[in-house]
Chain A
């Protein structure tokens, strides 16, 4: 069965091949494992981009295939990041605290260590107590479980409430925006237990792996991100193929018709919404250790809107379209906003791309929506001409 699924979807194989070649190429050009043409920070950018591609694929499934325009999936991405960030920060601070206490004459007690970690982490928000939500932060295994459970449960509860009341279309989009906004505002508070607007930082330092150096660690995360993208792609290609794909595309096109065929539409939406949220959480958990810092601004409503823009530009309803859109637009975005693009002097006015990039992005979005509804991915239709 698995074989026939891949056979029926040759684009999955092409995608995996392209991803493997890309990963190999980057490895050869890396400082740690190759000839060293690419800087460590650029490797991190590429690794982060792969994570963004993964959440874009998830977004494409929920929106492009199932027709649910969720404008809140970055909340799940951020929660995944926070979940892994808590362990990274705790374990790293523990190392530092234990080292410094060990310099004293008497060996420290367990309580002294805990207090030391608390003061280090929560000093910035004027506290030293561990909030309840940090209960599992000492354990990598449990926090990894949280990476999946927290976004999954939030999506399950939110989706259940929303879909059960038959909230659809633009109202659902607004509701998802409200969700991510509420979460961001909550996290901004100092007593949220997650260090308010400071967020979690120093996440690039992996506890116990200091001796390896960032050049090596960045490659590990790059590989992990590539594997996650590949696995996520295959998972979603499988979900969207066959009968499941048929039903969820049916829901997108005419949900009441699907209902009258005897399918419980709400369960399907909930399944897709939750599964994509979990994958978004995993993508976030891989992204933020490469970014080094996560704060509530990351899950501001605009982030999820950008996600929809990437998918639209890349071409929704095809998984590789989402990958292309996310990679293309996010890399271009960091080039423009990072000052990489030369300004254009017009004599009377100089176009600074740091200011004008968003305008360009907005115009491209409108242009794609109006003139190329299939997005960049649609170009492949000319390549692989299908008989009508």
Chain B
């Protein structure tokens, strides 16, 4: 397992408030990592930095074998480099069908003229079927994404990530608002994805994290409070104070 992403000494302030404070973080490929922390700990902001949505005041974000800095790249270039992101609230293109949503995410040349002259391929269709099967939406391919249930939208969004063929998946609260059965399916999806690429999952729900059965990073006030197995971090006195203190 080699290091895929290295975040070091990153600091972000919003109007003087330090949302991220000298944060360092590493993940290898493949690896599954859960990030937990109380509300406002800076978990989403952390993902904003990696994906180029927020530029940090200080620090470095280094990517891949060639150690390129993600800080100099645009959001779309970072995505093309292999970082896929699922947002906290499900964002799929509601007006378009499930198939169209997945097709848009498929890994293909992304320039306007490539897309204009794009021709559907058999491999593309196959890949879409494969992913639909994986996320359990095979029968919904022709439906408008807006007509899906909340859980199905979350899965579609995960499916769109898979279609991108990413090397790093950033998943923000995938299980929020899901029924227990749906949660289980989601865990399976994430674990399978983590067999081939690096996956970071933000989650509040401890049960969900326990089922992921992976290394856990605890964020608090924009910095790493503890890191290790779930049992290890939950026995950490600082973590107990933070969680009980809320």
Binding site for B on A (CB under 8 A): 1, 239, 242-244, 246-247, 249-250, 253-254, 256-265, 267-268, 271, 388
Contacts and interface: CB of A to CB of B under 8 A. Distances in A.
Contacts of A250: 93, 96, 104
Contact of A249 (B74, B91, B96, B164): B96
A347 B147 CA distance: 54
Contacts, number: 71
A260 B85 contact: yes
Contacts of A244: 112, 115-116, 118
Contacts of B53: 256
B164 A261 contact: yes
Given A259-B79, A260-B79, A246 B112 contact: no
A259 B75 contact: yes
Max chain B Cβ within 10 angstroms of own Cβ: one of A239, A249, A262: A262
Nearest to A265: B76
B92 to A, nearest CB: 8
9 contacts: A253-B93, A260-B76, A260-B84, A261-B104, A261-B164, A262-B80, A262-B164, A264-B76, A388-B147
Interface string B82-97: 0011010001011110
A18 to B, nearest CB: 26
B103 interface: yes
Contacts of B87: 257
B191 to A, nearest CB: 23
A249 B75 contact: no
Contact of A239 (B79, B105, B111, B116): B116
A254 B118 contact: no
A254 B91 contact: yes
Interface in B44-60: 51, 53
Given A243-B104, A259-B74, A261-B105, 12 more contacts: A244-B112, A246-B93, A246-B100, A250-B93, A257-B93, A260-B75, A260-B76, A260-B79, A261-B79, A262-B77, A263-B115, A264-B76
Contact of B119 (A1, A239, A258, A262): A1
B160 interface: yes
Contact of A259 (B76, B93, B100, B116): B76
A264 B111 CA distance: 7
B110 A264 contact: yes
B151 to A, nearest CB: 19
A257 B156 CA distance: 14
The 6 closest A-B pairs by CB, nearest first: A262-B79, A262-B80, A271-B112, A259-B75, A243-B118, A264-B76
B103 A254 contact: no
A308 to B, nearest CB: 21
A247 B104 contact: yes
B120 to A, nearest CB: 8
A369 to B, nearest CB: 19
Nearest to B113: A271
A53 to B, nearest CB: 24
Contacts of B79: 259-262
A261 B76 CA distance: 7
Max chain A Cβ within 10 angstroms of own Cβ: one of B53, B110, B111, B118: B110
A261 B87 CA distance: 12
A228 B234 CA distance: 70
Contacts of A259: 74-76, 79
B112 A268 contact: yes
Max chain B Cβ within 10 angstroms of own Cβ: one of A1, A243, A263, A268: A243
